[in-house]
Structure 1
Amino acid sequence: MTIPPPPSEPPTAGMPTPEPASEVVAEWWRKDGPRIPTPAQPEPTVHIPVPVGPAGPPSMEEAAQAFWAPAREIFAEQATAIASQIGQLLTETEAQRAAREQVEYETLLAGQRARRDAAFTKVGETAKERAERHRIEDALATGPAQRNDLVGLVDLLASRINETPEEKAARLEAERETAKRRARAEEDAALAAAGETPEQRTKRHRQQQVADQREARTRARRERRRAARAQAGSSDRYRRFRRWCVLTSISATCGYTTGLVSLIAPGGPGVGLLLAVFGWALDLHIRDRGRLRVSEVRGAGPLLILVVLRIPVAAGLAVAAGLAPLFAALPLF
């Protein structure tokens, strides 16, 4: 038996050769196999701590000074501003302050309106829409801006302390009117966006004007009544009470003649009291929620209406108080 000669080429012929930088043993396929070189491990880096600063960490005093330095700057600025405001408060007259605030307010409004106009112009606002928006902004204006600093706070406190009852009433009335104008301007803007025509807006404004006139007349009547009550003495109380008793008796008598007292008498005091409560609610609603007293009604027509409307109250009180049998003894028929 003959042994064939060894092959002239390794069995891995045609395969990619290893990198030149790696260590290769000649004829490795004849020996134990390839030896893959192990990559060199990087040397470990040793961190050496270095002290901060030339003389080590800062002391507690230096750290505190570095921490409070910005706060001291802020406090210094605030103290300077407060001192300037106090000096301005002590040296500036009321006319000078009002004129300066008015100029600042007008300048602020002009700048804000110019920025709004520029922004709305970019999105395609027309001249007509701009005029309508300016009208609404003018209606929403509440007057000169109030200062929100120390001077404004002192002015507000001084005005509130020195304010008389008449000035307070006028201020509240002005605030109420301003709130009404603001609400109606917002309503105009909302309805205009919803498609309200100018004719519809004019009609609605006319209705609002009529309602305002009616409200003004009602408020004037209330003020006259309040002033008359303030001037009334103790004798007027007895006179008003006697007038109330007379008018209530007349209403109760009318209730008996119409059969209302006889109708609710079998129900007892509970039914009479319930009827009196419902009648009293109607009576208060008719008399401007009780602002108009029974003794203050004048004139034949108003008195007749008052007597008729107070029949449920008087009849219920008569039954609740057990006075229903007394009407049978009266020569009414």
Structure 2
Amino acid sequence: MTIPPPPTQPPTVGMPVPEPGEWWRKSGPRIPAPAVPEPAVHTPVPVGAGPAEAASIDDVARAFWAPAREILTEQAGAIAAQVGEQVGQLLTESEAQRAARQQVEYEQLLAAQRARMDSALDKVGETREQKAERHRIEDVLTPGQPVRRDDLVGFADLLAERISETPQDRAARRDQERELEKQRARAEEDRKRAAAGETPAQRALRHRQHQLADRREARARARRQRRRAARTTGTTDRVRRFRRWATLTAISAVGGYSVGLVPLITPGGPYVGLLLAAAGWALDLHLRDRGRLRVSEVRGAGPLAILVLSRIPVASGLAVACGIAPLFSALHLF
């Protein structure tokens, strides 16, 4: 068997040579690209519209506001009567008459609740001593003043009370609240310890310790008050009052400019400013106990903040009436 000689040239001579890096694309298998579905076309249909006709904007708005209109129609009379009653009480009753009426209603409510509780506990065999001890603890835990109202009259009374408070009244009120909370806490402690088996001798010793602690606290408080009174100095009373009034009025005017009240009434002229100042002054006098409390006599961060906010109409009206409203925009405060 004869073996042929090897070829002098490779068998690929004369064939096209692919570019480096592209041979796998040109000679490899071709994978078809995935089919992209066409996006679905959504046609918006108004609320409540059928396939034949489209609802109008008026029909949609009428259907939307129908429940609210029914509620307002049913409650409008009751709301108007309640607001009218509160405004009538605020304008006709004096503070003493209102406090007396609320105190009587509060005492009647407490008496009715105590009568129901006594009747229920008598059925389960409560003794006379247990009833007397329960009444004593209830008298301590129950506040002597009615809870403040949560309506318009209560809010106005609260603002007037906080603004018209002097530093002495505020200190007395805080001392009274602190003493009442202390009595309530001790009455609750007596009830818990009596249920745990405390003897009368142990209770008397504990009460004696409380009395000694109260005396030491009262002496320390009186010493601090004497130091504070000794450090009180100042200029003449009239200059100090005017300076404080001007400062608080300027702060209220800046607040009125920041909320947009001054630019709002500026086109109306000085008469509109005087009208707004008069209306705001009436509210200011009501909150300051009909003017018995001076603006310069208000102390404390909370009462000062309420005073500044309530005097925004007065200060804004005075700024417009005096013609100094353009000064705020020239100062570039905001």
- The alignment's TM-score, normalised by the length of structure 2, stands at 0.48
Q: Which has the greater radius of gyration?
A: 1
- The alignment's TM-score, normalised by the length of structure 1, stands at 0.48
Structure having greater relative contact order (Cα 8 Å, sep ≥ 6): 2
